[in-house]
A and B are shown apart, each in its own frame.
Chain A
Amino acid sequence: EAQVTQNPRYLITVTGKKLTVTCSQNMNHEYMSWYRQDPGLGLRQIYYSMNVEVTDKGDVPEGYKVSRKEKRNFPLILESPSPNQTSLYFCASSLAGVGYTFGSGTRLTVV
């Protein structure tokens, strides 16, 4: 089944403790992206990747890092999480900017 898989689905962590949210897609898509979703603000892009080793900032990149060492994986790294990064995170992938398949989401709480 063609899908985007995120892990974990839920995560509670403490301020400053580094964490990684994984994202993997099995559709051989070049393009991958991370979004966060907050009430009243909708979906906002954090980072995106056009292909392996090609990443760039989205609208809200502060406090996040990404890497794209393999085509299928696009992890989101929070080096020092803070409470304002409490949010619902979605990974998405697309073939040449068409379609965009989203993962099921990761609900992160930083206390």
Chain B
Amino acid sequence: GESVGLHLPTLSVQEGDNSIINCAYSNSASDYFIWYKQESGKGPQFIIDIRSNMDKRQGQRVTVLLNKTVKHLSLQIAATQPGDSAVYFCAENIVGSNYKLTFGKGTLLTVNP
């Protein structure tokens, strides 16, 4: 089965609220993680990445947290906007896997006005 999974398949939030999307991974050899956003009819769009030697990384309105102890990854979106509505995927790269990304199933984020 997939080594990358998501706790919630759907998430609905109010505009302006913060969103948290979670992801669990099972392979302790994973050393690189990426969050992607996919809007309807489009390809996955890179949001933010993090290496296993870090536990937090911030971008514009987004923060990724990595907890290697419990093999958990989260994406926090601050002040969620309607344009953030999309499916969000986490992906992991395992050391020695020839750069292969293993994707989770995705979480659908819906932002209500």
List the interface of chain A (C-beta within 8 A of B).
4, 31, 33, 35, 40-45, 48, 50, 56, 58, 90, 92, 94, 96-105
Contacts and interface: CB of A to CB of B under 8 A. Distances in A.
B105 A45 contact: no
Contact of A45 (B36, B43, B101): B101
Interface in B84-105: 89, 91, 93, 98-101, 103-105
B51 to A, nearest CB: 9
Interface residues of B, number: 22
Most buried by A among B32, B45, B100: B100
A43 B43 contact: no
Contact of A102 (B32, B44, B100): B44
Contacts of A50: 98-99
Nearest to A44: B103
B43 A48 contact: no
4 pairs of A and B residues whose beta carbons are closest in the complex: A97-B99, A102-B43, A43-B103, A42-B105
B37 to A, nearest CB: 11
Interface of B: 2, 32, 34, 36, 41-46, 49, 89, 91, 93, 98-101, 103-106
Contact of B42 (A44, A56, A58, A104): A104
- Most A CB contacts (10 A, CB to CB) among B34, B44, B104 go to B44
B46 A101 contact: yes
A48 B98 contact: yes
Given A43-B101, A99-B34, 10 more contacts: A42-B103, A43-B103, A45-B100, A45-B101, A48-B98, A48-B100, A92-B101, A98-B32, A98-B49, A105-B43
B99 to A, nearest CB: 4
A100 B34 contact: yes
A92 B36 CA distance: 13
B34 A42 contact: no
